[in-house]
Structures are given as structure tokens and as C-alpha cells.
Amino acid sequence: MRREASIMHLDLDAAFASVEQRDKPSLRGRPVVVGGIAGRGVVATASYEARAFGVRSAMPMSEARRRLPSGAAYLSPRFEAYRRTSQVVMELLREVSPLVEQVSIDEAFVDLAAGGHDCAVPAVTELARGIKAGIAAATGGVTGSVGVGTSKLVAKIASDLDKPDGLTVVGPGCELAVLHPLPVTKLWGVGPATAERLRQAGIRTIGELAARDLVDLLAWFGQAHGNGLFRLARADDDRALVPERDTKSVSAEETFGTDVADRARLERELDLLADRVAKRLRAAGLSGRTVTVKARYFDFTTITRSATRDQPTDEPRAVVELARRLLADIEVTGGLRLLGVGVSALSEFAQDTLFPIGTAPEVVDPAAPEPVAAEPVDTAWRTGQDVRHDEHGPGWVWGAGLGRVTVRFEGPLTPPGPVRTFKADDPALHRAPPPDWH
């Protein structure tokens, strides 16, 4: 457990259902269930409108249908759409800190101290508010709940205390006051069987668990599980964040209060960012060959330009020179809301010499996101599936069967759209990628 609240946990709110409601305006405000919609399918995610009727994850879809009123929507998952949204969120988190542990497609821990942030409670609260607002803006309205605490345990539990769109910061010394009134099921490792054994012993809250002797827990659950419960009930958690991959780049960014179109000012900001990156490289004993400049416009459209030199460097002058050349290739007349500089292709040594006089680095195209394997697609139309009609444009499958497919023509940037029915083999109707939300 740390001495300051420097670990943040983000959990997107009903992520799959939220993405569906973003992309399908006719479903906003209505109960939405995503999962296996036929046979013995189960619920993957339910919107908060559906949760009000007691629908929850892992519930049989048949039970969800019994609980929900008419007008509820039951959709097959669109994993490509969820991954695209997740990638945007994780990129924003990595702008906050170089140490991000992505737990799942909609959940991550962030080490705020590793990002050099002030971790006093007021400062970290304001930082978290900004992160939440940035995520909602960049994802077209998908919200996340955030918890910040002195350990992963506390941060994880805190993020669940004020859902949806919540924020809870648990300052140092307040951990037990927050944890102890909560049910034991909030702790990692307390599933149905463990919860039932504790209930039989009269233990329902974390505080009641903390009051029991270690010898009791060891007798009930064995050495490893008993010790784990004993420690967690006392907020004793010193697990480190584990990023999913080694650091591949060092970067610095600046988000402007108002959009900046003055190229001279942008060059000055770029010089400061490049100098900051070079200092971080030296502090980490690293150097790099590839310099990248990132620019984000008012509508959150983001572009990058990269250049690679023959030898790695940690020299500020080398990074500045390359970054300026890249910025010259970026259109700024409409204004930038964010400017960033990064160095990648890292190694643990630096080349002392700069670019030979009269030579220019190779400028390469912006790196595209890593390709995502497409989900298997069967021959039938699936409810919720993205489609495009040659005449009517983009939409989604509202329902299908008996040789017919019904499509609602709308998207994240349109009002609720019209519904039309076609033959299932209509040659003008095609499967389509997920729509853009900005």
C-alpha cells in the first residue's frame, strides 16, 4: 500500500451496451442487452436501463427477456466496435502515464505517480475529472467510473462505489473506513462459495472479516486463500501494476486551453516537449531512432508524422530538429488542441554524433493501429450487425428471419432513422465495418 493515492482504476460503464447506444440513436434511453440472443445464450452486458429490471451479466438471455418490458433491444456483440473504442480509451490513459495495466477491453489501472502527477487528494481528484471528461469526448459519450487509492484493491473497489460515471478518491488513512462497511463480496477472491462459508460464520462485511483471527481463516480456506483474505480485509495490498508490454516509446504532450493555430507558438511548444522527452530518455538510460509528432484537432481527429534516423540519440537538439521537420508537414490553420512528441525504436545506448551535414532523415507514413482480426461471420444476418445498402446507406440489422432482413438506417451522428425490410439475399445489402462516431 502506497503513502499517496496514486493508483487509478478505470471501468467503462456497461461498455458494450454503451457503445451500442452511441452507434444506434434509437436505442438511447432504452433497455439494451448484448450477448447470445438465441437458444441458451447469456447476457454479456446490460445497459443501466436494463439493470433497473434486475438484468445482469451472465444471466440467461431467456431470463432477461422475461424481466424486460417490450421495447427492449437484444443485440449480438460487435467486438470490432468495442475494440476500437477501447483502443481510444487506452491511448488516452497512456498519455496520462507510461505505466498502464489493461485488465480487459473496458478496464485498466493507471500509475499516476509514474506519470509525474501531483498525487495529493485535491490534485488527483481534478486530474481524474479531466481524464473522465476526455474519455467521454473522445469516445462519443461512453463514460467510465474512476477510483483512485493507495493500492490496486482500494482503487478497484472505489471505482465501483458511484456507478455510472462516478469518481471516488480514497485518500491515505481512509482505506478501512471505506472498505469495512462493504459486503465481503467486494473483495477479490470472494466468490459464491467463499461468501457462503463466511455467511455461515456470521461474516457479511469486510469489517467483520477483518475482526476474525487469521487462524480461523486458515482453518476454513487453507494457507494461500486464508492469508490473502486476512490481508485484503485490512487493505494490505502491495501488488505492482504490470503493463501488458515493455515500454516502447517515451513521449510528452500538451493539451491547450484553446485551439492554437499560430505556427510560431506551436514550434516553441514543440521545442519544450522535445527537450522534455530527451531528458526523460537520459534519465531512463535510453535513446531512440524514431521521432513522432502527434497533432489532435478540435474534433479529436488525431494524426501522426514519424521520421527515423540511422543511429539512436538522446540529444535534445536532434529530437527538436526532427520534430520541427515533421510539424512543418502538418496542417495547423484550423488550430490544434493537442501537440505531442515521442521517441521510439528504443535502445540502451546513444550515438554521440548528430545527423551528418546535408543529410535528411527518412520520413515514413504515420503508423496505423495494429490490425485486429475480424470476428467470424456466419452466413445469417445478426441482430445489431453493421450493414450498408447501396441506395439507403449505412445502418444496422433490426431483425431477421423467414428470408427477410429488417434494417434501421441510422448512425452515431444521425437522429433515429427509418426502418426498411429487404430480402435476406438482396445484392444491394452488404456487411459493413463499425461506423465512425466523430
| Other Cβ atoms closer than 10 A to 321 | 18
126 is a catalytic site residue: no
Joined together, the cell numbers standing for residue 169 give 478518491
Contact 360, 51 (CB under 8 A): no
Q: Is the dihedral of CA 77, 89, 142, 147 positive or negative?
A: positive
Tell me how far apart the 2 most distant CA atoms of the chain are, in Å. Answer: 80
* In contact, 46 and 56? CB cutoff 8 Å: yes
Q: E strands within 365-434?
A: 386-389, 393-401, 404-408, 419-423, 429-431
Output the DSSP codes for 291-354.
EEEEEE-TT--EEEEEEEEEEEE--HHHHHHHHHHHHTTS--TT-EEEEEEEEEEEES---SS-
- Burial (CB count within 10 angstroms: exposed 0-12, middle 13-18, buried 19+), residue 25: middle
**Nearest residue to 312 (alpha-carbon basis) of 327, 303, 322:** 322
Which one is catalytic: 20, 101, 107, 321?
Answer: 107
Question: Catalytic site residues?
Answer: 107
